[in-house]
Structure 1
Amino acid sequence: MRVISTRTHGVLDYLTGLLLIAAPYIFGFADGTAAQYVPQILGVLLLGASLLTDYELGVMRMIPMSVHLTMDIAMGVLLAASPWLFGFADRVFWPHLLIGLCEIAAGFMTRTTPDTVADATLRNR
């Protein structure tokens, strides 16, 4: 059930990327460990991928939307599992788990073509 448009997904990408970079400071786990660096690295990767994705908010449009969504799911799985993979779940895990699960959900729920492309394809039939 793909109910999220590619344009909305783009907005969510940029907001989530910024949230991941800022989350350690917002939620108080900016301690120079994996708890801080995993979300920040994934946030930078998400922003970079968003700039390169072939959707309305992409700048260079080199990454197909289907590849971008697969990357979102993979990064979401890594983020959600990171507290246990890297051994900091005893200190903090909720931000990583919740944002990771949201990334996974967005990856599965986003359309793979922009609405304008889908509408034009339907009109041309």
Structure 2
Amino acid sequence: MKPFISTAFYGFFKYILALTLIATPWIFKGFDGTKLADISSAALLIPIYIGWLQLIMNIFSDTEASPIRQFPIKMNMVLDTVMGFILFVSPWLYNFKAKAFLPEIFFGALLIFLGVFTKRSPFTSKENHSPSKGLLTSTD
């Protein structure tokens, strides 16, 4: 499948996603009405840590929405996929009680989706390598 998410949308959307992840433990509730902040320290801290990492990466990433363009966007997408997987499996990994795992699953899947289907993604974009481009050749 071809990547279809533009890097401009990716950059702007990641700010919203990062701030929502930081606020997740206090915004969302489980099926029994308990907030994520009251369930366990893993349910409280994992979305906050990943949200802050996403915010910092997006500020320094090479997208149209970032003020400081130092971090390669391909590395950002790889880390999005890894952090999305960690967030996705965290309810089972840390055995969240009160069935308050839907925000982690949703935001984890969203991070994986963004990391894979954004243009210039290393997972769906193919690099054009020519044999003589960037390689040292010998004249012997």
TM over 0.5: yes
Instruction: After TM superposition, give the deviation of residue 65 of structure 1 in Å.
Output: 0.9
**Residue 30 of structure 1 aligns to a residue in which SS?**
helix
Partner AA of 1:101 in structure 2:
A
Q: 1:1-125 counterparts in 2 under 5 A?
A: 1-27=2-28, 28-31=35-38, 33-88=41-96, 90-112=98-120
One-letter amino acid matched to 2:50: L
Larger helix proportion, structure 1 or 2?
1
Q: CA RMSD in A?
A: 1.5
Larger Rg belongs to: 2
TM-score of the pair, normalised by structure 2: 0.76
Q: Which amino acid aligns with 1:49?
A: M
Question: Per-residue deviation at 1:89?
Answer: 5.3
Letter in 1 for 2:88: A
Give the counterpart letter for 1:25 in structure 2. W
Distance (Å, rounded) in 1 between the aligned partners of 2:97 and 2:49: 18
Distance (Å, rounded) in 1 between the aligned partners of 2:43 and 2:66: 29
Q: What TM-score, normalized by structure 1, do the two folds share?
A: 0.85
Q: Which segments of 5 or more consecutive residues in structure 1 lack a partner in the other structure?
A: 114-125
Aligned-pair identity in percent equals: 35
The number of residue pairs the alignment matches comes to 113
Q: Distance in 2 between matches of 1:19 and 1:58?
A: 18
Code of the aligned partner of 1:107: G
* Counterpart-to-counterpart distance in 2, 1:58 and 1:48: 10
Separation in 2, partners of 1:34, 1:13: 22
- Please give the secondary structure, in 1, of the residue aligned with 2:36: coil
The aligned counterpart of 2:129 is none
